[in-house]
Structure 1
Amino acid sequence: MPSATASASAAHASSTSTASKTTTAAPPELDAEPFFREIDIILIGVAGFFILLALPRAIARFKHLSEWFAGCFFRSVQLEGSSRRPRRARSNGSSFQEKPADANAEEQSISVYSNVDLTFSPDLESPKNPPPYIPAWTSIFPTVNGILETKIRPGYSLWKVLLMVGYMVAMMYAALFEVNLFTSPARLGFLPVSQLPIIYIMATKNNVFGALIGQGYEKLNWIHRYVGRVAVLAINLHALAYFAKWANEPGGVAAHMETNHVWGCVAMGCMDILWLFSISAVRQMYYHLFFVTHSIAAVVLLIAVCYHEDFAIPYVAIVAAFYGLDRVLRLVQTRIVNAELRPIPELGMTRIEIPSVNAGWRAGQHVRIRVLSSGMGLLGWMESHPFTIASVSKHPNEEGLVLMVKKAGDWTAKLFDVAQRTEYREVGGPTRNIKVMLNGPYGGPGHAIVTSFSGAMLVAGGSGITYALSTVQELVSKGAEGASRTRVVELVWCITDPSALVPFLPIFSTMLDETRGTYTSLHISVHYTRAIVSDEAMKMFERLPLGVTLTPGRPRLQKALEGVVDRTAASRGVEDRLTGVVVGVCGPMALGEQVGQVVRRLDSERRSAVNGVELHEE
């Protein structure tokens, strides 16, 4: 009997111990691979939301076959008809030619401080072939947009910060949910691998996501930088956690280092190199070092991460597909052509004309250019720099693609010096023929059709005039063809010295001449900030073309925008429905932020009168 009792007691103790072990056993660890794929599906859903927001405009734009490849590839086309070419620069840099006999009939004697009262003529016919207009969500919900566009710091608005915070929360959840990083640090390694497609796709020039939502790569590069930094942080924590774990085990770190771990260290080194040499100070001072290290490390990283973990292979395959597509498209978009360089001493600019390329871009787009000349220095010919196109596509003025490059560094200073080594010809003034490599076009207004708006106000600061020139020329040329809804165009240009206006007066005169008798009314207001102490310096501006004003001081942008909106609203009688006003700005960041504030402060009555005001920052 005692023996049976002891046996039962032992059995009870054994069962109690087993139950205790069962209840205290750790739950099975979460399978990281499907978990991170689910996180990626959620991120794809977020991207799909932004694509849906842009879908109405994309449908309206691409329902015309001519828009399918507009702004994709440079080309040369045969144009019917011709127009007089804007007056070329003389050898001293001045753009003036001798006035024709009837010049006084085309000009008005006005004070440089005066304003021109431009009214819209109701007798003009409506456009014969107007482009479709779809309002942006920002103009439909201006109050919400005003809140989201509040600047938290230069270059970062509230909506960007919210996206960054939301992304960081999602990544922290993915890395920390149901895991002990001290015993199982592998989870931190899954995170950067799963984000490789975002990092690489957002780094490509032909950005697939950007093409779907109508945004250029330069406007989405902040996503590439931010996600890349999160990935660098995660991969370093992943490695350090493993090193700390192995250091406390027999044999130390060396005993645990296998071949796949070595490849993991190579991948981590590549990520650290990509981050270190992309710091703005390093990138700006040592651009060649940044470019070379970025190109090599980005490729080695993909190879190393595949050898480190099989989980990475599908992600690397996605990266390779999109990265390879970008490289193929960039090759197709590249052309080596002859260019004519002309110095503009008044602005410290180099004017680049490429007559053999006269089509294939949209107003507001930019091109990346290499100058293939020994005059650019030992490595200067290798550098590719972006510049906004200053001419309009398919314009019969025989100029083709035009760039205006301001001296702002070593490379642009060398280009200006090359342009000054002119080869004089009998016709056309000083010029320098040279080979250049074009790549593009990129950026631009995306799915928005500038000519679909009833009014437009373009604000430019300094060399930002190139963006405004191409946009105004497109509005003017399309208006003459009856393919534009735009009735009121206001160009506001801020410069330091009034002498900068001299080379542009012939171009402004040509644009103003083209608007006469058309559906579009154009006014150009130039504002200079440097005090003029000599009356002699202002004599050349005593007679300005009708429609051009020169005023000292900074522009009153709020008043200018209200004037554009009021003049646009006054033209309602020509067409039953107004299609909004677009405000474009290109220049220093401070100018862009000021224009953004002006647009957000516009009163609701004026905004409603024209059916919305939309901002585009270049």
Structure 2
Amino acid sequence: MSSSSATLSSPSASPSASPSAAAKTTRFDHGNLVFNVDIFILSVVAVLILLSLPRAAIRFIHISEWTTGHLLRSVTIHVPHGVRRQSVALTPISPAHVSRNGHNPRTPLDDARSEKSVGATTDEDHNIPTTSRSNLIRSRSQSSAHANLLRNTSTSSGRIRRPYHNAPAHMPGWSSMFPRIAALIRYPIQPELTVGKAFVLIAYSAVVLYAGLYNSNPLTQPLRAGFVAISQIPVVMILGTKNNLLGMMLGVGYERLNYLHRYAGVLLVLATNVHAIGYFYSWSLAGTFAARAKTPKMQAGMVALVASDIFVIFSTSFWRKRFYNCFIALHVVAIVIFLVGTRLHSVQSTPYILVAVAAYGLDRVLRVIKTRWTKARLSIVSEMGMTRIEVAGLNAGWRAGQHVRIRVLSRAMGWLGWTESHPFSIVSVSKGFSEEGLVLMCKKTGTWTTKLYELARRAEYGEAGGYAQDVRVLIEGPYGGPGHMMLASFAGALIVAGGSGITFGLGAFQELVQKDLEGESRLKAIELVWSVPDPAAVIPFLPVFCDLLSLRTFANLRIHVHYTRAPTTSSALKTISQLQLPRGFSFAPGRPG
């Protein structure tokens, strides 16, 4: 009994030893739990990468894909046999170019009309009827490299079959294998949010909440929220860079991952505040708040807390859209302060911060490598309210649908205008047979684009011949695009564009036509549908449309233009009706049906 009593009383004899030992044996490893959750997220990403591998493998089987879509450059272009080489720019055509007797003087359309043209008139609804089929034959009087293509109305088909030298194999996407699921995923809930994106955000929230709440009370155990916050640092940084390994392996541009970057940033700041509030609460109850706040470790944590709140507040759409320069400056400064403060506050955050810094450093190095300092020529397309930027020194290195970021180094853009970098889709085709190089179309919508338009307009009035002023620019890219999907591997292509969206549509159309001419396409039909408010908008693009439709391709080419508003003047319709438009071009009022 005595021994038994002694054994039972021994815990009370040393009350401080037993609870300490029990605490050590039952202590929960918060860092290990959060690390395991990160491993789970990486496993999901690895599965997504494996699902994208078939298309990536088919794409990179072609040697040209290793050098296309990554770096802008200038190369010597070899024109295929039988394809003429000329530069057809977007040139405004006013009614003054049309003579009173209905016969036009020489315009940029003459070359295209001499090869593939038919008469066109409009009916009461201003519809231009489709003409009968005719054929293209090569003029024997011209050299093979610069042969003119003539329309021969005595035959029924102008299509010629070229051998598939390097035509890409078609690898269907997962969306085409499960079309109903794909349609549901793409169903829009609100602007910039689809069902698929909402599902991803909900699933990601569930994973983060599990990491933060499993066997934990945020008020009594705020340490867990701190681990969750530091685990999000590399996620936010990787998704926020222009050149990230995740996007490269998935074949997805940074702009399509940006919504995840913003959401992960919100979760990071939320976890940071929960972590801080939990400790503030416990310190206030214990009456030690003032003493704790004076320690250097806690002061560094408070600085990181304030910095995180600053960059999330100034990252809202209000600041991004109205005060972009302020948003960028505060974003960068606040993130740097946050990383430094977090490292001084917690040594355990070191590996996460190092991963984030490495991702950011890789992005900056690649952005420098992708940047070109060159000369550009500006001109205006007044019918569209757009500025045309032509960079003749860069003619290769991009794919259809990609965009670049441009800085205009001119005092006319303002004192800080040269610091602004703006994205624009590439209109021209890489290694195009014309000599125009890289072409951008910038719509006048904001302060910067308005200054650019005015600069080009003043230059046109100030120089003879209507040519624009040459300016120095910094061009960074290319970015975005179709990823691992190869447009030329499909049987047909339908490209639909609205308004200024023609910058994407025209670039894709030109690339597909060029692939056809080079025998690297399986397309049998290529159609471009463009809807514009004003019929006058089509006039500057007619030289390009006519040049494309005059080419001798195997695929059937069609361009349909629809205008949705009543014309303010009849000059545009009169000009178009007096021009000889090529077969395959239609111009009609109303929305595309």
**TM-score of the aligned structures, taking structure 1 as reference length:** 0.83
Is residue 380 of structure 1 aligned with residue 417 of structure 2?
yes
Letter of the structure 1 residue corresponding to residue 474 of structure 2: M
Is residue 183 of structure 1 aligned with residue 224 of structure 2?
no
Q: Which residue of the partner structure matches residue 481 of structure 2? A: 444
In structure 2, the residue corresponding to 1:284 is in which secondary structure?
helix
CA distance in 1, matches of 2:499, 2:591: 13
Structure 1 residue 65: deviation in Å?
2.4
> Per-residue displacement from partner, 1:380-408 (whole Å, max 9, x unpaired)?
11110000000000113110000011101
CA distance in 1, matches of 2:8, 2:479: 76
**1:307-456 equivalence runs, <5 A:** 307-422=344-459, 429-456=466-493
Of 316, 319, 324, which aligns to 1:287? 324
Is residue 47 of structure 1 aligned with residue 45 of structure 2?
yes
Of 546, 564, 578, which aligns to 1:529? 564
Of 511, 518, 522, which aligns to 2:548? 511
In structure 1, the residue corresponding to 2:397 is in which secondary structure?
coil
| Residues 209, 345 of structure 1: alpha-carbon distance in 2 compared, 3 angstrom cutoff | same
| Residues 84, 95 of structure 1: alpha-carbon distance in 2 compared, 3 angstrom cutoff | farther
Structure 1 residue 534: deviation in Å?
5.2
In structure 1, the residue corresponding to 2:379 is in which secondary structure?
strand
Is residue 68 of structure 1 aligned with residue 105 of structure 2?
no
Q: Which residue of the partner structure matches residue 504 of structure 2? A: 467
> Per-residue displacement from partner, 1:246-268 (whole Å, max 9, x unpaired)?
01113334345421111111111
Q: Which residue of the partner structure matches residue 517 of structure 2? A: 480
Aligned residues: 548
Identical aligned pairs, as a percentage? 42
| Residues 259, 528 of structure 1: alpha-carbon distance in 2 compared, 3 angstrom cutoff | same
Structure 1 residue 224: deviation in Å?
0.3
Structure 1 residue 411: deviation in Å?
0.6
Q: Which residue of the partner structure matches residue 107 of structure 1? A: 118
| Residues 95, 413 of structure 1: alpha-carbon distance in 2 compared, 3 angstrom cutoff | farther
| Residues 104, 255 of structure 1: alpha-carbon distance in 2 compared, 3 angstrom cutoff | closer
Of 318, 326, 334, which aligns to 1:297? 334
CA distance in 2, matches of 1:547, 1:428: 33
| Residues 153, 533 of structure 1: alpha-carbon distance in 2 compared, 3 angstrom cutoff | closer
For the 8 Å contact 1:89–1:430, the answer to whether it is kept is: no
| Residues 120, 152 of structure 1: alpha-carbon distance in 2 compared, 3 angstrom cutoff | farther
> Per-residue displacement from partner, 1:211-270 (whole Å, max 9, x unpaired)?
101110001000100010011111011101111110111333434542111111111112
Is residue 34 of structure 1 aligned with residue 48 of structure 2?
no
Give the stretch that moved more between structures: 290-299 or 369-378.
Answer: 290-299
In structure 2, the residue corresponding to 1:206 is in which secondary structure?
coil
In structure 2, the residue corresponding to 1:359 is in which secondary structure?
coil
For the 8 Å contact 1:270–1:301, the answer to whether it is kept is: yes
Letter of the structure 2 residue corresponding to residue 528 of structure 1: Y
CA distance in 1, matches of 2:550, 2:464: 24
In structure 2, the residue corresponding to 1:405 is in which secondary structure?
strand
> Per-residue displacement from partner, 1:476-508 (whole Å, max 9, x unpaired)?
111011111111011011111000000000000
In structure 1, the residue corresponding to 2:575 is in which secondary structure?
helix
CA distance in 2, matches of 1:257, 1:16: 38
| Residues 207, 115 of structure 1: alpha-carbon distance in 2 compared, 3 angstrom cutoff | farther
Structure 1 residue 143: deviation in Å?
1.6
In structure 2, the residue corresponding to 1:499 is in which secondary structure?
helix
**TM-score of the aligned structures, taking structure 2 as reference length:** 0.86
CA distance in 2, matches of 1:49, 1:383: 38
For the 8 Å contact 1:343–1:351, the answer to whether it is kept is: yes
CA distance in 1, matches of 2:463, 2:200: 59
CA distance in 1, matches of 2:231, 2:95: 56
Q: Which residue of the partner structure matches residue 153 of structure 2? A: none
In structure 2, the residue corresponding to 1:76 is in which secondary structure?
coil
Give the stretch that moved more between structures: 182-191 or 38-47.
Answer: 182-191
Letter of the structure 2 residue corresponding to residue 329 of structure 1: L
Letter of the structure 1 residue corresponding to residue 44 of structure 2: V
Letter of the structure 1 residue corresponding to residue 246 of structure 2: F
CA distance in 2, matches of 1:94, 1:223: 53
For the 8 Å contact 1:95–1:506, the answer to whether it is kept is: no
In structure 1, the residue corresponding to 2:77 is in which secondary structure?
coil
CA distance in 1, matches of 2:424, 2:555: 28
CA distance in 1, matches of 2:297, 2:515: 61
Of 482, 490, 499, which aligns to 2:536? 499
| Residues 413, 242 of structure 1: alpha-carbon distance in 2 compared, 3 angstrom cutoff | same
CA distance in 1, matches of 2:571, 2:74: 45
**1:215-294 equivalence runs, <5 A:** 215-255=252-292, 257-294=294-331
Q: Which residue of the partner structure matches residue 86 of structure 1? A: 88
CA distance in 1, matches of 2:34, 2:473: 46
| Residues 51, 12 of structure 1: alpha-carbon distance in 2 compared, 3 angstrom cutoff | closer
> Per-residue displacement from partner, 1:13-55 (whole Å, max 9, x unpaired)?
748989x999xx7772310111111100000011111111110
> Per-residue displacement from partner, 1:342-364 (whole Å, max 9, x unpaired)?
01111111100000000111111
Is residue 548 of structure 1 aligned with residue 585 of structure 2?
yes
| Residues 50, 104 of structure 1: alpha-carbon distance in 2 compared, 3 angstrom cutoff | closer
For the 8 Å contact 2:384–2:443, the answer to whether it is kept is: yes
CA distance in 2, matches of 1:94, 1:175: 71
| Residues 191, 255 of structure 1: alpha-carbon distance in 2 compared, 3 angstrom cutoff | closer
Give the stretch that moved more between structures: 476-485 or 497-506.
Answer: 476-485
For the 8 Å contact 2:94–2:575, the answer to whether it is kept is: no
Letter of the structure 1 residue corresponding to residue 415 of structure 2: L
In structure 1, the residue corresponding to 2:240 is in which secondary structure?
coil
Of 150, 155, 158, which aligns to 2:195? 158
RMSD: 2.8
Structure 1 residue 103: deviation in Å?
4.6
